[in-house]
Structure 1
Amino acid sequence: MNRQFWLHMAWTIATAVIIISLTILLLYGMSFGPVKSSMWITAFLIALLHKIFIIDPIRISIVALWRAYRSKSAPPDYGFQKKLISPERQELRNIKLRLDYLMKKFQEGNWKPSDHKEERQSEKREKLLIHYDRVFYDLLMYTFYMVALLLIVLGSKSDLSYYSTRYVQDFFTAGRNEGPPTNQILTENELKSYLNNTIARQLHDARFYQSRTIRYKPGFLDGRTVKVLGVARLRQQRIPEESCSSVKSINHVNCSGYFQPSNQDTKNYSANWAPSVYFQYYPEYWRLLQPFTYQTAEDSDSLPLFGHEHYYRGGGYVAKLGRNHRNSQKVLNYLFKSNWIDNRTGVIFIEVNLYCVNANLFNLVTIVAARTTFGSFSMEVHVKTAKLLFMLSSLDWEVFIAFILFCIIIVLFIRRLVIRVAYKESFTDHGIWEYVDVVLIVFSIGTLALFFVRNNYVVSLLHYLEDNRKNTFVSFAYAAMFDDFFTVISAMLVCIATIRLWKILHFAVMFRVFSKTLYRSVGTVIFTLAILIVFMVSISAAVHVINGGSIARFSFFGKTLATVMTFSSGFVDLDVEEVRRSGTLVSFILYVVQAIVVNIFLINLLVTITLFYFSVLRGEMSERETKSYTFWQFIRDEYYEMKDNRSKPKRQQKGNKSLRLRGGGTYFSKSSQSTKNDQDSKGPEKVSVRSKYTPEKAGLANEIISTQMDYLERYISLRCAIPCDNEELQEESEIRSSETVSKVSKGPERSNENVSPKHKFRVDLRKKASSANASDKKRRITKILNKDFTLNRPIRST
């Protein structure tokens, strides 16, 4: 094993240790708390400093002293040492030099170089083959990556999410138990009736067998399959004092101002919103004063929320309901008597966490009761349905296999990146797509980390809820945020992998034609899009000014622009009756202009420009790619070669691909060389041509044979100058007396089992030398002319 193997092994082990350590830290790091984490970091830093400044200097000093003690030796002698050589050995060296000179002279005209055109074609084919080999590898890797990623993303979502969301929305939207529906709540009394009859009752009045009502047990919805996690919570954001500005001539006593999330009240109060005063029994009565104490977003574990009216921030005045219906009713009665909801209430958030056991789905419900500018309430029901808890027993085997395959592919991506860094390859040599691969690896690791962090965080929240006997509100907002991040990063991964796969598929002509079309037509397309956008903005502004007060979808300029763009793209239909109901002729004219100019003219113009460039470039690239070696031919040749190699013994298989790519052999199989057109598109082959047989070559070969014979005879005589023992001399004399030239060519007839290796080597040399007769010389000359020799290859005599 060479050094590069151990270097790659070291990088692989280091990467695996880092990934495992990070995984353990992400999984179990949150369960130790900040104190133990700080102690662990301090201990780690102390150990690191102790090793760097104390242990390492002592160890290096000891090792240096030991090596200096063990490596004591005499100083090296750089002088030249004289060595006497016998005349026979020097003569043998001279003959060897003469033989090397003759072989070099014989090989000078054996091969002639190819011309520059063939060299350029061979180099081009070689680069093409290397490119196709890399494309084939990337195509397999990213195809499996995409399949595994899609299976993981689809496995993390539930098919029942839509039905669960609709069920919860209908449950809290419709009026139940004499409570008004959400679309009919306008006043404070209707909001209080909704809290009493719909929220408090429906979270605890689950009807079980024989229509029996389970009123005083922890919360269940109807059917006992949807569980209320903990208790419900009310969170209020208020309008600050003295925020009302009105006309001086009109003085209204009840003016309370307009709620703005950026300017809300953050003061602490006592009951009935009286000024906060600390008294002696505050620790005993903190539960009564908690609804009038402001909590920040961090204290209340609340996140911002997009509503119809505003972008609401976290935080507010928090009041928790009870664990059963009786306690919840007591809390609501206390809040109503203390005027917790008054004219300065800007928005109230009703937050409930539900868990559906059958579908393993969490429903995070947030009901927004926002006070409008006119003093009435506007109700919104936001339901976030997510599969936050994953259990291995309930996981599908397809998703589990996809998860394992996804991890293996990420490891392979990291291995390829580590190898390129180890070989110090520059990313700029491979283009921007190498940076895309790095981003893909980082996002993939981030996706796995978010998956485990979210699951571990949800498990810790459930343990905390169980420790508090389900008598507290546990916010799953951050778990939902982790799920949103996981969804966004997964979508980005799918997008990046699709773009990367699109780049790999450029071996096909149609993909290159489409990319070239976008590149060529970018100027014209951008100019047409600019005209289209300007026209849409103008139409949106006009429609908003004219119909903004009568049509809901045109009430805001942003909604108007979105409606015009979706109508132009054909995603939604605009009702003509709404435009006609506005009562103005201008609005109908604007509708007609929008339909004709944007929907028909500009959109069709954009499509026509793209199709024109596509048809022109398709013809050009089709003519250019007719005689080129395609990727499908590469796949076919690889298949035939693999098939041929399997049918042959291992020693007869072709060389490795790197040798064939360097021109060391024919790269393509015989099945792919049937026609002349296929032969023109094959990979690199030998382009050298053998030299012709000439009398000068024959004379030079004869001189090589004679020099070789002389070399062998002198080598035999020099080796036999060493004295032999009596047994070897007796065996040698017996062989000399019995052998002839014909018998020597066939080899000895008697057994040589008891012959020493040194004597056997001498006898073989004598037999080879004695076989050099006239007929044998002619045969050997022909063999030299028909065989390739290298300069230093030993000449073998038969």
Structure 2
Amino acid sequence: MASNAIYIVTLCLIGACFVIIWKFSGLKHEDRKFKAILVSFMVVMIFQFLVFDPIRFLIQAVDTACWPKMYRPYVPDGKAKRHNRMDYLNLRLRSLRSQLMITAGHRNEELNLKYRTIVRELWVYGKLFLIHLFLNLALVNRLLYYNGESITNLMMYNHTNSIGLSHVLFLHQLYPFIEQTLINGFSSNDPHLVTHWNHVNSTKLLGVVRMRLLRDTGEQYGLKDPEYTEKQYTDGWSLPHIREPYTDKYWSIFLPWLPMTQIGGFWERCFLSVRQYGYYSSYPELKGYVTTLRKKRDDSLKVLTYLHKNNWIDDRTAAVFLDFTLYNVDANMFSVCSIRCENLPFGIIRSSLNVNSVSLTETVETLPWVGMICLLIYVLIWLELGITVIVPLWFEPKLLKRFWVKIDLLILALSITVVTLMVLREGIVSKLLAVLEVASTHDFIDFRIPARLTEFTVMLMGFLVCLVTLRLWKVMQFASIFQIFTMTLALAWKALFSTACVICIFMMAFGIATVSINGNNNEHFRSLLHGMATVMCFSFGFTSHVEPKELFHGGIFMGLLIYGIMAFTVSILLTNVFVSILNNYFTAAKAIRDRNRTEQITFWEFLRVEYADIIRVTREAFGCEKKYRRKKRTVAENIQRKLDLQAAAVASVRTKRGRSYRIPSKGRTGNVTDDEEEEYERKAQAQQKARIARTYTIAAILQTQMEIAERKLFGDKEGNLRSGSEDEDDAGQEQNLPRQYV
């Protein structure tokens, strides 16, 4: 208690000094600066716990091991308080009141240790789950979806001054689209004028638009992925049979005909060396022929005219990619846009637009106060989790073999990874913004790396929440319903896995059949994956877009047969079989639980006794404490009335059941077995023993209270009774004995 008081007083002094310095120092910081100070304090605190404290403990351990301290001889404290009879009686009264709540089941020390471990884990992982929930809600930006949706609508459809991407059907229509929508929409002839998008005044283009072209080699055979050329060309895609000087200087003329050679750094290889899967094929992101537009409108038109005259986009073009980044000043959002135009073998192109709206300039200093507070609480909870996991491993390394300990370490590792990725993203964005300040008129500022890094971080946070939820599920095993679910999964996983395999085989067969018959005539069945996904969604009721007429391309009777079998076999029969198996195993798990149930206290009974003082103080604070109400009757009358009500209830139950009230459990035949009768007698005896022990405890409480009242009324200040000189000799002998044993 003394150490806790010192700790609380120290915290209060530090807080008071901090408030006084902040209030009366004459410096009034803005919110961002004040948050930066808090972040610095948090970083120092983390380093104190993770780095400096272990070093300090190591130095102290070496010092204690090499130069042990000489302890002084023990000297008893002469000022220690000497307890009298009243102190003993008060202590005994508190002990008897606690004993009144404790039954024989509370003396199972192994069960108590188990429940204490559950309380500690529930406290840690419950807070961790809640703080992840609140942190995600505090950091989420609900405007990101609407920003991406508005940009998609403005780009896809025709407007007064722009051409919609959905109306671009042929290759030769790409040039008017680029001119009307991208050049006229974002640029002007004045390079010093900050231009905005003609649709949205608060949105402007960062850098320039980059155009990337993938050119087909024309040598694709079989089912292999198409190959794209990486040869060097000159104007009009003619091979450079002669070497022309200054090809590396005048990039405006030669760069559109030269392949990409710059692989990039580590982040480009991690986040950009992937393939985009389009409608017709997959396309690499670090290959192709690249050119950029300009800041000025006239210069961009010159580039576009040059490309059009020299047939930069021709029949050998496999796909054209238009990459650019928009920034909304009012909403502080970056929109990384990528337009993909695939040249299909059917003479038309298929266009798609991907808009990734992210908030890249939000740092810890710019967070709202709610997010800042959640972040500070998250750091404290994370440190507590680290102590809870690492300290037992330090003393018992064998615990690392346990599955749930590995989950705890994975949670810590994922948390550190998410924080590290956020810091790295902030550094990358700072470098890109610094490049943007000094960028020339033809520099393309690639914000795809921080945008994809943000997506990856969000995915890791999702996995982190899943792991925390899984760990919380393990902690909640004290509840019977969670035990039944876990036992059901443990018993039924083989049968459920076999049934799931059968369902997957049926769905794969139906998917192959529907794709083979209707794949060329319906978008839902244009590939095997699309067909299986459609069958799965239809079977489990996720969508109702599949109509019978969409399966009639192989004939009405064949379509009706496939639709009926798919609806009955997969959707009704196999799904109900799966649910029935799960229900049967659930019933079996419940029966096993009931059969193996032991007489022990529940987790809530343990909490009621373990935290009785906290519960009592809480009830008193909120006015929920039960009070005795006389209702104009004496205590004896109230007790007699309650006994009469209990007897009337027992008589009512006997009347309704038509048999004796003492009815033990019955088997299937309706006869009472010997084991059930013995179990019933054992429970009745245990209840009778508990009642007798409770009665004796209540008697001891009343006797102790009577003695306390007697000593307060007839004793001196210390509660000593002095009835005569002959009792003084025996006072020392009776000093530490209760009244009933004197």
The alignment's TM-score, normalised by the length of structure 2, stands at 0.67
Q: Within 2, Cα distance between the matches of 1:626 and 1:343?
A: 79
Of 187, 201, 210, the residue aligned with 2:184 is 201
Aligned residue number for residue 554 of structure 1 = 525
- SS across alignment from 1:294: coil
Q: Give the 3 Å change call, closer, same or farther, for CA 522–780 of structure 1 in structure 2.
A: same
- SS across alignment from 2:219: coil
The CA deviation at 1:318 is 0.8
Where do residues 211-250 of structure 1 align in structure 2 (5 Å cutoff)?
218-240=195-217, 243=219
Aligned residue number for residue 439 of structure 1 = 410
Where do residues 484-503 of structure 1 align in structure 2 (5 Å cutoff)?
484-503=455-474
Q: Give the 3 Å change call, closer, same or farther, for CA 374–151 of structure 1 in structure 2.
A: same
Aligned residue number for residue 47 of structure 2 = 16
Aligned residue number for residue 323 of structure 1 = 295
Aligned residue number for residue 298 of structure 1 = 263
Of 557, 566, 572, the residue aligned with 1:600 is 572
Q: Give the 3 Å change call, closer, same or farther, for CA 260–520 of structure 1 in structure 2.
A: closer
Aligned residue number for residue 29 of structure 2 = none
Q: Within 2, Cα distance between the matches of 1:555 and 1:232?
A: 34
Aligned residue number for residue 637 of structure 1 = 609
Contact between 1:239 and 1:265, CA under 8 Å: does it hold in 2? yes
Aligned residue number for residue 161 of structure 1 = 144
AA aligned to 1:457 is I
Aligned residue number for residue 599 of structure 2 = 627
- SS across alignment from 1:395: coil
Does residue 309 (structure 1) correspond to residue 280 (structure 2)? The answer is yes
State which drifts further: 501-510 or 286-295. 286-295
Contact between 1:236 and 1:348, CA under 8 Å: does it hold in 2? yes
The CA deviation at 1:461 is 0.7
Task: Provide the alpha-carbon RMSD of the alignment.
Answer: 4.3
Does residue 174 (structure 1) correspond to residue 157 (structure 2)? The answer is yes
- Structure 2: segments with no counterpart, 5+ residues: 3-42, 53-62, 67-103, 620-684, 692-725
Of 365, 368, 373, the residue aligned with 2:345 is 373
- SS across alignment from 1:566: helix
Of 228, 231, 249, the residue aligned with 1:264 is 228
Q: Give the 3 Å change call, closer, same or farther, for CA 245–604 of structure 1 in structure 2.
A: closer
Equivalenced residues, count: 555
Higher-Rg structure is 1
Contact between 1:132 and 1:634, CA under 8 Å: does it hold in 2? yes
Aligned residue number for residue 344 of structure 1 = 316
- SS across alignment from 2:208: coil
Q: Give the 3 Å change call, closer, same or farther, for CA 437–221 of structure 1 in structure 2.
A: farther
Q: Within 2, Cα distance between the matches of 1:322 and 1:594?
A: 56
Q: Give the 3 Å change call, closer, same or farther, for CA 355–677 of structure 1 in structure 2.
A: farther
The CA deviation at 1:420 is 1.8
| Deviation string, structure 1 residues 302-328 (Cα, Å, up to 9, x no partner) | 553232222221122111111132221
Q: Give the 3 Å change call, closer, same or farther, for CA 775–592 of structure 1 in structure 2.
A: closer
Q: Within 2, Cα distance between the matches of 1:142 and 1:328?
A: 57
AA aligned to 1:243 is E
The CA deviation at 1:238 is 1.0
- SS across alignment from 1:332: helix
- SS across alignment from 1:522: helix
Q: Within 1, Cα distance between the matches of 2:44 and 2:597?
A: 46
Contact between 2:484 and 2:590, CA under 8 Å: does it hold in 1? yes
Q: Give the 3 Å change call, closer, same or farther, for CA 269–634 of structure 1 in structure 2.
A: same
Where do residues 119-138 of structure 1 align in structure 2 (5 Å cutoff)?
125-138=108-121
| Deviation string, structure 1 residues 500-559 (Cα, Å, up to 9, x no partner) | 000000110000011111111122212221221111111111111111111111010110
Q: Within 2, Cα distance between the matches of 1:438 and 1:293?
A: 49
Q: Within 1, Cα distance between the matches of 2:249 and 2:463?
A: 52
Q: Give the 3 Å change call, closer, same or farther, for CA 423–245 of structure 1 in structure 2.
A: closer
State which drifts further: 281-290 or 166-175. 281-290
Contact between 1:540 and 1:564, CA under 8 Å: does it hold in 2? yes
Does residue 279 (structure 1) correspond to residue 244 (structure 2)? The answer is yes
- SS across alignment from 1:298: coil
The CA deviation at 1:484 is 1.6
Contact between 1:292 and 1:317, CA under 8 Å: does it hold in 2? yes
- Structure 1: segments with no counterpart, 5+ residues: 2-11, 22-62, 68-120, 207-212, 247-257, 648-674, 682-773, 788-798
Contact between 2:333 and 2:359, CA under 8 Å: does it hold in 1? yes
Q: Within 2, Cα distance between the matches of 1:365 and 1:347?
A: 16
Aligned residue number for residue 617 of structure 1 = 589
Does residue 531 (structure 1) correspond to residue 508 (structure 2)? The answer is no
Aligned residue number for residue 643 of structure 2 = none
Q: Give the 3 Å change call, closer, same or farther, for CA 218–777 of structure 1 in structure 2.
A: closer
Contact between 1:177 and 1:197, CA under 8 Å: does it hold in 2? no
Q: Within 1, Cα distance between the matches of 2:523 and 2:153?
A: 23
The CA deviation at 1:598 is 1.1
The alignment's TM-score, normalised by the length of structure 1, stands at 0.62
Q: Give the 3 Å change call, closer, same or farther, for CA 309–18 of structure 1 in structure 2.
A: farther
Contact between 2:339 and 2:354, CA under 8 Å: does it hold in 1? yes
Contact between 1:296 and 1:314, CA under 8 Å: does it hold in 2? no
Contact between 2:553 and 2:559, CA under 8 Å: does it hold in 1? no
| Deviation string, structure 1 residues 113-146 (Cα, Å, up to 9, x no partner) | xxxxxxxx98982121112112112112212212
Q: Within 2, Cα distance between the matches of 1:501 and 1:320?
A: 52
Q: Within 2, Cα distance between the matches of 1:439 and 1:321?
A: 47
Q: Within 2, Cα distance between the matches of 1:578 and 1:635?
A: 61
Percent of pairs with identical residues: 24
- SS across alignment from 2:228: coil
Q: Within 2, Cα distance between the matches of 1:310 and 1:18?
A: 53
AA aligned to 2:407 is V
- SS across alignment from 2:608: helix
Aligned residue number for residue 622 of structure 2 = none
Q: Give the 3 Å change call, closer, same or farther, for CA 779–524 of structure 1 in structure 2.
A: same
Q: Within 2, Cα distance between the matches of 1:563 and 1:599?
A: 12
AA aligned to 2:611 is Y
Contact between 1:205 and 1:220, CA under 8 Å: does it hold in 2? no
Q: Within 1, Cα distance between the matches of 2:689 and 2:260?
A: 80
Q: Give the 3 Å change call, closer, same or farther, for CA 200–781 of structure 1 in structure 2.
A: closer
Contact between 1:177 and 1:198, CA under 8 Å: does it hold in 2? no
Contact between 2:106 and 2:601, CA under 8 Å: does it hold in 1? no
- SS across alignment from 2:137: helix
State which drifts further: 483-492 or 124-133. 124-133
Contact between 2:400 and 2:406, CA under 8 Å: does it hold in 1? no
Where do residues 673-684 of structure 1 align in structure 2 (5 Å cutoff)?
none
| Deviation string, structure 1 residues 154-197 (Cα, Å, up to 9, x no partner) | 34432122211111111221134576543343322212222222
Q: Within 1, Cα distance between the matches of 2:737 and 2:522?
A: 98
- SS across alignment from 1:230: strand
Aligned residue number for residue 388 of structure 1 = 360
The CA deviation at 1:635 is 1.6
Q: Give the 3 Å change call, closer, same or farther, for CA 451–155 of structure 1 in structure 2.
A: farther
Q: Within 1, Cα distance between the matches of 2:513 and 2:230?
A: 41
AA aligned to 1:366 is S
| Deviation string, structure 1 residues 247-279 (Cα, Å, up to 9, x no partner) | xxxxxxxxxxx9945x21112222222334543
The CA deviation at 1:474 is 0.8
Q: Within 2, Cα distance between the matches of 1:364 and 1:564?
A: 34
| Deviation string, structure 1 residues 288-311 (Cα, Å, up to 9, x no partner) | 211112114734955532322222
Where do residues 561-600 of structure 1 align in structure 2 (5 Å cutoff)?
561-573=532-544, 574-580=546-552, 583-600=555-572
- SS across alignment from 2:187: coil
AA aligned to 2:310 is S
Q: Within 1, Cα distance between the matches of 2:594 and 2:395?
A: 39
Q: Within 1, Cα distance between the matches of 2:192 and 2:199?
A: 12
Of 130, 149, 157, the residue aligned with 2:132 is 149
